[in-house]
Structure 1
Amino acid sequence: MLTGLCERERLSQVHRVRRCVTKGLFLLSGIFSAIYLIPGCKADPCSPNVLASRKTIYIPEGQSVSLSCEIQHCGDLGWKGGWGRYTENTFTLLGPTPRHLLYNKTLLQESIVLYMKILNTSRLDSGIYQCRINWTNNQSSNGHITYMNITEATPAAGRKILTRMLVCSGALLCFPVVLGVARCLCPKDTQSTDVASGRPKTEVVYAALALEARGRASKRQPPPCTIYSSVQILHPNA
């Protein structure tokens, strides 16, 4: 008897869950249908465009800068263009150079990001930059303008600290070498070595031979003088 009651209760709960799920599905389908039928709620079709924000940047002279803009091509892979610069109100498309690196990165199937990196900037790089694209239907799209200002170069504090650390490290490494060379070049102190080793100190006595020889030379008698005889010849007439 109890088993039959439990079975009936379980079946009734299952039916209730099924009815709730069915009602929920109908409710969701009704909501989506209403959204689709309301004007303005439909998803807009993809339209080719250039997505770039207007900005002003300040770069110290000698550093690198990177500019980017997103191209929403919507499957139109025949577009042409890229980053350019205004010179005297004339737009000039920039190409790759040793200082201008151009590359791109695909985000989605319908969009791509164009990058331009300028190496070792100088004052001549200051100006107005823009991303411009020409589509296959003879239309063009322009991104917002980027104002680039190249300021005076300032020495990096980190570079100064690194230089000081290298100088100090070199001095510490050279100190033992200089100390060893100085020790090899300096004469050794034999007296301190003998005292440290416990050996008796040997004294050197020099004989005064030069003084004795000089004294003996003063006592010698001068050699005797040699007297020569004179010969006189007498003539008979004298």
Structure 2
Amino acid sequence: MYTYLLGVICFVCIFQAGLCAEECQLSILAKRDMDYVPEGDSLSLSCVVQHCGNNWTAAWMWENSTYDFRKPVKESERHHLTNKTISASQTKLFLNIQSVNQSDEGSYGCMVVWDTGLTENGHRTHVNITAALITGPSPRKLLHRVLICVCALLCLPIILELARCLSSEVKPQPLPRAQVIYEVPYATQPTILAPQPPPRCPVPQKCKAYPPKAPPKVKRKPEVMYAVISQGALKQQRATRQPAQSATVYSSLRFDNP
């Protein structure tokens, strides 16, 4: 039983090894393509060589657009050739071109020479060199901006005139104002009373005049005071009398004839 299982396992391993050996074929894995590169940019191309562990040599070939001239691409300041091993049976070739120009336009492809002496060419990539890109604003865009600004300036007076006409046609109606009556209170003027005479003073004594008092609120009738003063007392009073305050004195003089 164990011998039978061991034989089956060995058969399966040998069969898979044979299939793997048959699947590995010498070829160039590349596809036909077309690239458009602006002048001054860089270009990178690649292709995979399936050599299955055999000896081989490869090179990049360039052909012009009319397909009447062909030459190998050599290492230079702008052209860089590199290889990278992917597996034991495959290797990837790279071609990098710096700052492309019109002379780089054409078809590029890999050419492999096998150890048997056979030569094989892979699918080619056609490269078209276009004009350099303009980083600044294009003249067309600049012209569009200028036209937009000019149209805006021309339309501004028209818009202002329309706004003025609409504002003049629609006049706001004044709102009715409420009539307000203001009542100013007038203070009642006090009644001015006539000054009252000072009280009667005896003849020998000095008569002092008192300042008038504030008029009372109650209206009183004016009183008239009469005094009898002799001539001698009048002279004595004039000699000793001090300046009196402003007052109104009513008096009556009577002279007796001897």
TM norm structure 2: 0.44
TM norm structure 1: 0.47
